[in-house]
């Protein structure tokens, strides 16, 4: 029989999938992403389990809006305030991008706390997930540091005085406190060096570290799987036996050898 000629639809699909096939053949990345998205999870997980992905979405929103803001922001005391005013008042949708970044910072922290609460209530911090809990705690601390360093960047009165209070608080800490203040400020006063230092930490060092830790966090989530809620029989280790397998349909029903009546 003659083979059916591929239709226009098949040709188009093949053309559209070509870049993905190309990538898969050379890296196996497509298979990896498919494995991540379609991996098996317990049947009784709930909306609480979406909070980790919600935190990830908030982080991505912060990264994207932050990159856009960095295209127009100027980290010098003479120009910082004016560049922020320019973004908010003159640029198309600048107020929106800035607002998303500002409010998104709080959303990110709140979502991380909610996710952490879910993990705690479900006892998901216990063996073998302790390392993932520690990595999560590091991400949380770094997320809050992001907020602290970002707060100075508009270089207005609130930013300036809030940073003085924040730095002074940390300088009162035991042992490292007296060194921490000048190191954070880049000197004994808040000035151009402080702004440059905070900007570099806010948009390079901390986001890079957080992104790396999120990668590690997700690797461990995939490797260890997620836990069921504590009220599920599966989590208590006494899952109910399922219904017996249905007998095989057909002419002959299977039965142990010798048990069949003649
Ligand atoms: C940017 C921040 C974070 C992101 C993007 C993130 C992402 C995720 C995702 C996608 C999951 C799997 C689904 C789920 O349980 O929601 C997960 C699980 C987990 N996360 Fe996070 N997470 C973050 C912060 C944290 C924090 C702050 C902690 C705790 C201190 C934490 C501890 C854990 C643990 C122990 C699990 C395993 C949960 C289980 O097995 O049920 N994570 N995370």
* Ligand 1 near 217 CB (within 6 A): yes
- Report the pLDDT value the prediction gives residue 7, as an integer from 0 to 100: 86
Q: Where does residue 234 rank: exposed (0-12), middle (13-18), buried (19+ CB within 10 A)?
A: middle
Q: Rounded mean pLDDT of 61-69?
A: 98
Task: Please determine, for residue 262, whether its predicted confidence score (pLDDT) is greater than 60.
Answer: no
- Report the pLDDT value the prediction gives residue 230, as an integer from 0 to 100: 87
Kindly report the pTM of this predicted structure. Answer: 0.86
Task: Please determine, for residue 243, whether its predicted confidence score (pLDDT) is greater than 70.
Answer: no
Write out pLDDT tens, residues 95-147. 999 999 999 999 999 999 999 999 999 999 999 999 999 999 999 999 999 99
Chain-wide mean pLDDT for the chain? Answer: 91
Lowest mean pLDDT among 13-17, 30-34, 252-256: 252-256
Task: Please determine, for residue 152, whether its predicted confidence score (pLDDT) is greater than 90.
Answer: yes
Among 40, 52, 105, which is best to mutate for testing ligand 1, by the most ligand atoms less than 8 A from CB? 52
In the chain, what percentage of residues exceed pLDDT 70?
A: 88
pLDDT band at 203 (very low <50, low <70, confident <90, very high): very high
Among 60, 220, 221, which is best to mutate for testing ligand 1, by the most ligand atoms less than 8 A from CB? 221
Domain spans, the chain: 48-224
- Tell me how crowded residue 193 is: count the other CB atoms within 10 A of its CB: 12
* Ligand 1 near 213 CB (within 6 A): no
Q: What residues contact 124, with CB distance under 8 A and at least 6 apart?
A: 118, 133, 226, 227
* Ligand 1 near 229 CB (within 6 A): no
Q: Length of the chain, please?
A: 262
- Report the pLDDT value the prediction gives residue 245, as an integer from 0 to 100: 63
* Ligand 1 near 138 CB (within 6 A): no
CA gap 176, 125 in Å, rounded: 30
- Report the pLDDT value the prediction gives residue 69, as an integer from 0 to 100: 98
Pick the CATH number of 48-224 from 1.20.810.10, 3.40.50.1820, 1.10.1060.10, 2.10.10.100: 1.20.810.10
| Ligand 1: residue whose CA is nearest its atom 35 | 133
Cα 97 to middle of ligand 1, angstroms: 27
Cα separations (Å) of 225 from 22, 45, 98, 134, 240? 30, 12, 37, 17, 21
- Report the pLDDT value the prediction gives residue 242, as an integer from 0 to 100: 63
- Report the pLDDT value the prediction gives residue 5, as an integer from 0 to 100: 77
| Ligand 1: residue whose CA is nearest its atom 29 | 136
* Ligand 1 near 112 CB (within 6 A): yes
Q: Rounded mean pLDDT of 180-200?
A: 94
* Ligand 1 near 55 CB (within 6 A): yes
* Ligand 1 near 228 CB (within 6 A): no
> Which residue bears the tokens 């208590």?
236
Q: Which of 195, 158, 213 is nearest to 75 (CA)?
A: 195
């Amino acid at each position: 029989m003659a083979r059916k000629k591929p239709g226009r639809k098949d040709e188009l699909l093949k053309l559209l999938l070509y870049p993905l096939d190309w990538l898969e053949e050379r890296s196996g990345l497509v298979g990896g992403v498919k494995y991540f998205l379609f991996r098996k999870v317990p049947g009784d997980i709930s909306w609480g389990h979406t909070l980790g992905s919600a935190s990830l979405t908030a982080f991505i929103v912060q990264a994207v809006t932050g990159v856009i803001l960095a295209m127009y922001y100027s980290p010098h005391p003479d120009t910082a305030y004016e560049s922020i005013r320019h973004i908010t008042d003159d640029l198309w949708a600048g107020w929106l991008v800035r607002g998303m970044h500002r409010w998104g910072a709080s959303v990110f922290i709140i979502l991380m706390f909610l996710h952490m609460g879910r993990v705690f209530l479900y006892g998901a911090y216990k063996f073998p997930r302790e390392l993932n809990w520690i990595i999560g705690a590091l991400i949380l601390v770094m997320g809050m540091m992001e907020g602290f360093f970002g707060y100075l960047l508009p270089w207005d009165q609130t930013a300036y005085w809030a940073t003085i209070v924040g730095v002074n608080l940390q300088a009162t800490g035991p042992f490292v406190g007296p060194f921490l203040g000048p190191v954070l400020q880049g000197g004994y006063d808040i000035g151009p060096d402080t702004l440059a230092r905070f900007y570099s930490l806010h948009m390079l060092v901390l986001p890079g570290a957080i992104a790396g830790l999120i990668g590690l966090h997700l690797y461990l989530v995939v490797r260890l799987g997620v836990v069921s809620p504590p009220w599920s029989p599966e989590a208590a280790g006494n899952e109910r036996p399922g219904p017996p397998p249905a007998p095989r349909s057909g002419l002959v029903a299977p039965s142990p050898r010798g048990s069949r009546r003649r």
